[in-house]
Amino acid sequence: VRAAEAEKREAETRERTVREQAAAQRKMADRNDAVEAARDEARRLQEAVEKAEAEAERANKRLAELDVTAAEGWQQVGAQNQAVQGLRAKSVFLRKMFMKEKRRREKEEREKEAVKLRFKPLKERNVELEYRLANQRDAMGEADAEVSRLTGALKAQADAADNLSRRLRAEISDRERAA
């Protein structure tokens, strides 16, 4: 009986040992799977970090290019603004000259009517003044056209610079949100 009991206990001990070994092997396999999954995740994260760093570097280069472009655009806007101001000053000067000439012409017209029959030389002088006035009007028209053209170009440059500034701010804020 004792031998049977001892054999039974020995069989139970073997079974328990086999079960414990199987459980230990499953546990080890689970741990190995978890380690492999963690390594895969670490690789993916490292690749994502490298990709993000490369993207950040490209974005920084693009931002530097956009900064240079914006600075050049504002320099062009400044130069064109100065040109427009110069043309405006010239336009004002020519307009004043035109108004002076116009007032003088009106005065001469009144005098001409009063003495038309008696003073033929005044008539010849008036023809000369009309010729000068036409020349001044032509000069003023060209200056006004140039002012209009440069004003349009200035507005286009200012709009382009504003759009560029907005894009820069948007890219910067996108990076800050991404960081």
Q: Are 88 and 140 in contact (CB under 8 A)?
A: no
Task: Tell me the C-alpha distance between 114 and 70, whole Å.
Answer: 65
pLDDT computed for residue 104 by the predictor: 95
Task: Tell me the C-alpha distance between 124 and 112, whole Å.
Answer: 11
pLDDT computed for residue 122 by the predictor: 64
Whose CA is closest to 129, among 106, 153, 162, 110? 106
Q: Are 154 and 80 in contact (CB under 8 A)?
A: yes
Task: Tell me the two tokens of residue 141.
Answer: 């028209």
Cβ neighbors of 76 (< 8 A, separation 6 or more) are 157
pLDDT computed for residue 31 by the predictor: 94
Q: Are 146 and 84 in contact (CB under 8 A)?
A: no
Whose CA is closest to 84, among 156, 144, 173, 23? 144
- pTM of this structure: 0.33
Radius of gyration of the chain (CA): 46
In order along its 179 residues, the chain shows pLDDT tens digits of: 688 888 899 999 999 999 999 999 999 999 999 999 999 999 999 999 999 999 999 999 999 999 999 999 999 999 999 999 999 999 999 999 999 999 999 998 888 788 776 767 767 878 888 988 898 888 888 888 888 888 999 999 999 999 989 998 898 888 888 86
Can you tell me which residue has the tokens 């949100």? 177
Provide the Cα torsion 130, 134, 136, 138; round to 10°. Answer: 180
pLDDT computed for residue 156 by the predictor: 93
